[in-house]
Amino acid sequence: MIRDNRLTDLLQIPYPILQGGMAWIATGELAAAVSNAGGLGIIGAGSAPADIIRNEIRKLKEVTDQPFAVNIMLLSPFVDEIVDLVIEEKVPVVTTGAGNPGKYIDRFKENGIKVIPVVPTVALARRMERIGADALIVEGTEAGGHIGDITTMALVPQVVDAVKIPVIAAGGIADGRGFLAALALGAEGIQMGTRFVASRECTAHVAYKEAIIKAGDRDAVVTGRSTGHPVRNLKNTLTRTLDEMEKKGVNKEEIEKLAAGSLRKAAIDGDIENGSVMAGQIAALIKEIKPVGEIIEEIVREAEELLQKLQEGLVR
């Protein structure tokens, strides 16, 4: 069940573990490391133009021949050219986020690309299954970045009951306990973002990784609710300023202006005070920057050992 299920069959990978397609963070290097370690590495297209992402795909292909994916962030001004790019580059799997990928699904399917949308609600999950999604990433509000309202614990079993295609749980998972819990809820795989940011192969600035290691349980706060695009990020000068602006009722455009470009500031420049350090609530569980291979091996071993103990009645 942990190593061999409908999702590992669909994706042709050893472990049903996906790496979140995080803008500015999920580069070709990180995605290749995850795919080489037996998971599904995902390049985050974010709001980057196609040429930048083509380069990331080429970098990945130089170091792995394993399956991988590109995440298409549907609020990007470059969505159409990224869609053309993944077809041209014969990317085997696409995940989508921050919107409804409906108008692109037929083109992906015609080109043999597997489509796995991120969904934050049961209604969108049903709609995506109806129009041909191969699997779903069901993301709870514990996740980092742009989020929905429902928790992973509540949302995953509801979607599992509503659809027949495989479900991948995301949001709030960083170890073997979370992995096994997701399987108990009926998911057939997991996606982790924050855990893979704090990895050796992740190309994000070291200050960003250390901010995750230092985070406490209440540090991953939500900003931007008033804009309609709530984002979970670590508490800092930026989040405090955004909170004040929201309390004062500053208009949406002003808030979005401050937030725009702030992820790059944190992830690339390492400005973890004025940039947006997007991370999930599970950040506080992460204590060490580790190689991707170790992260994946440990989580699989931990889940298998825990399952064994539960079956033997050794956990009390």
| Binding region for ligand TUI (CB under 6 A) | 23, 73, 75, 97-100, 118-120, 124, 139, 145-148, 229, 231, 278
Smallest distance from the beta carbon of 307 to ligand TUI, in angstroms? 28
CB nearer to ligand TUI: give 23 or 292: 23
Q: How far, rounded to the nearest angstrom, does the alpha carbon of residue 5 sit from its chain's CA centroid?
A: 21
For the bound state, the minimum distance from the C-beta of residue 305 to ligand TUI, rounded and expressed in Å, comes to 31
Q: Which is nearer to ligand TUI, 16 or 148 (CB)?
A: 148
Pairing assessment for the beta strands 41-44 and 231-234 based on DSSP bridges: unpaired
Comparison of 23 and 190: residue with beta carbon closer to ligand TUI: 23
122, burial (CB in 10 Å: exposed 0-12, middle 13-18, buried 19+)? middle
Which of 16, 280 has the CB closer to ligand TUI?
A: 280
The radius of gyration of the chain's CA atoms, rounded to the nearest angstrom, is 18
Residue with the closest Cβ to ligand TUI?
145
Least CB distance to ligand TUI at residue 143 (A): 7
To ligand TUI, the closest distance from the beta carbon of 95 in angstroms equals 8
Residue 178: exposure state from Cβ atoms within 10 A (0-12, 13-18, ≥19): buried
- Residue 133: helix, strand or coil by DSSP? coil
Instruction: Find the shortest distance in angstroms from Cβ 139 to ligand TUI.
Output: 5
Query: Cβ(68)–Cβ(32) under 8 Å?
Result: yes
Nearer to ligand TUI, 60 or 73 (CB): 73
Tell me the closest approach of the beta carbon of residue 97 to ligand TUI, in angstroms. 3
Q: How far is Cα 22 from Cα 118, in angstroms, rounded to an integer?
A: 13
Closer CB to ligand TUI, 36 or 141, in the complex: 141
- What is the token pair recorded at 284? 């506080």
Report helix, strand or coil for 274. coil
Could you give the C-alpha distances from 25 to 48, 171, 294, in angstroms and in order?
12, 17, 19
Residue (114 or 146) nearer to ligand TUI, CB: 146
Least spacing, CB of residue 229 vs ligand TUI, in Å: 4
Cα separation values, 65 from 31, 59, 85, 213, Å = 12, 11, 18, 32
Residue 272 dihedral angles phi and psi, to the nearest 5°? -85, 0
